[in-house]
Amino acid sequence: MKIRHILLLNPPGRKLYTRDYFCSKVTKAGYVEHPLDLLILSGIFSSAGFRVSVLDAQAGRQAPEPAFNHIVSLRPDAVVFLSGLVSRQEDYAFLERLKKAMPRVLFAGMGDLFLKKMVFENTAWMDAVFYDFTSGECADFLSGRRGQFSTISFRDGNDIIYRVPVQDRGEFSIPVPRHDLFLNKGYTFPFARKLPFATVLTDYGCPFSCPFCVYPTLGFRLRRLQNVTEELRYIRSLGIRELFVKDQSFGADRGRSMRLCEEMRNIGGFSWTCFLRADVAREDLLRGMKAAGCHTVLFGFESGCDRILRSYKPGVNKRMIVDALRKCRRSGIKSVGIFIFGFPEDDIGTCRETADFAVRCGCDYVSFNVFVPKAGTPLRNKLMPDDSSGEKEEVLDQSGIASVWSGSPVSAEELNRLRVRAIRRFYFRPSYLFGMAAASLFSLCRLRMCLRSAFFILQDVLAKRR
């Protein structure tokens, strides 16, 4: 059957899930971000001449039955969907039922659970797996081309043709994503100062080597600046001013990042958030980011113990973290520190050291998490060599809300107590609460976001973890 109409699907679920960019988890504080994989593919498929529809049942809070009926009524020729270890069982039940109702429709999946080929082998109703949502091979495949691909595995009769991976570290371009298809779908982001917002990707993968993270395993490629600028102008034409730049390490190529900030400043009017590492947070870069509209950066600090940092955040230490936060304050940029309790070498002492450091170091916001052996990472392969794909687990929630790994020297109950205490210590300080309340008075959007975050923080603190 010739494919003309493609449905991009983020399936419904019992909880709110994030499944994109090879990391699936329960969303925190009820926020729903854009499904990056589907967003990027919307441009690739549209530019190849396909009719593209989008159903994000997560953003729309659609229950399975209405979502099922909606999909069947759309009569797509292909369904490209997200799934993840966090929701595998319910995703499979929903998608397999869809396949039975539309047996001639091609189903292609993306997500962290497909990083090991045995998952595809054991899923007979699925026709293909896409491993790189920035690749034009996805459109080639749906156009009818067959053979060997570097980013796709697929069924050919009773056989499976596996991808031949290529680690590409050059530049790339993509057709401008169809941001218009993702407007007014209920997307929210805790640090967005205006709504609606758009998500932008200006690189793919990560050049660093943190062993607990999947992104270094993807290689590292930079988007051509002219290609990024074209997308930014399109976003501006839609009336969108707020951006989440989802590069995993903005500033990794400092010269390019400075040029990108200059392009953003020339377009004008943007307000944005990004991820940054402490060891690339130079003052000139931060000044350039601020001038281009950056108001918040998210730092994956991970630990407040230098011994743990040497193993899991190579090239970063506590002194660098404090220095980076000082530079952010001087530049007028808010900071978010992300910390993890329960790394394999952590003990009660190092976890408490991390909590103490997080409260003292000067972050404007923090996110406390417990260690999760994430799918596709070198550390997971080392800790769980017999099952690095996650096949033995019913659910693997990578949000870091609760412990899912039984090998930690610190018990799951104690990790949760440490996490909750740290949240209380940081967010329930009277001076902090007063400052946040005062800052929110001047922005209705910020006030709504703060009230929502406060509700979910209280819910998180009061919840009982099993």
**Tens-digit pLDDT profile for residues 337-382:** 999 999 999 999 999 999 999 999 999 999 999 999 988 899 998 9
Under 8 Å between Cβ of 267 and 243: no
Least Cα distance to 250 among 215, 217, 226 occurs for 215
When pLDDT is cut at 50, 70 and 90, the band that residue 403 belongs to is: confident
- Rg over CA atoms, the chain: 22
Residue 466 has what pLDDT?
42
Under 8 Å between Cβ of 406 and 246: no
Give the mean model confidence (pLDDT) for residues 184-194: 86
Name the maximum alpha-carbon separation found in the chain: 65
pLDDT digits (tens, 9 = 90+) for 74-92: 999 999 999 999 999 999 9
The residue with greater pLDDT, 454 or 2, is 2
Residue 68 has what pLDDT?
98
Residue 444 has pLDDT above 90, yes or no: no
Query: What is the model's pTM?
Result: 0.93
5 phi and psi angles, rounded to 5 deg: -120, 120
Residue 15 has pLDDT above 80, yes or no: yes
Total length of the chain: 466
Q: Give the DSSP H/E element, type plus range, for residue 433.
A: helix 430-440
Domains of the chain: 5-161 (3.40.50.280), 189-371+408-462 (3.80.30.20)
Neighbouring C-beta atoms of residue 245, cutoff 10 Å: 23
pLDDT digits (tens, 9 = 90+) for 295-337: 999 999 999 999 999 999 999 999 999 999 999 999 999 999 9
Distance CA 188, CA 454 (A): 15
Long-range contacts of 405-414 (CB under 8 A, 24+ apart): 405/342, 405/371, 405/372, 405/373, 407/344, 407/383, 408/342, 408/344, 408/346, 408/371, 409/344, 409/345, 409/346, 409/347, 410/341, 410/342, 410/346, 410/347, 410/348, 410/351, 412/370, 412/465, 413/465, 414/348
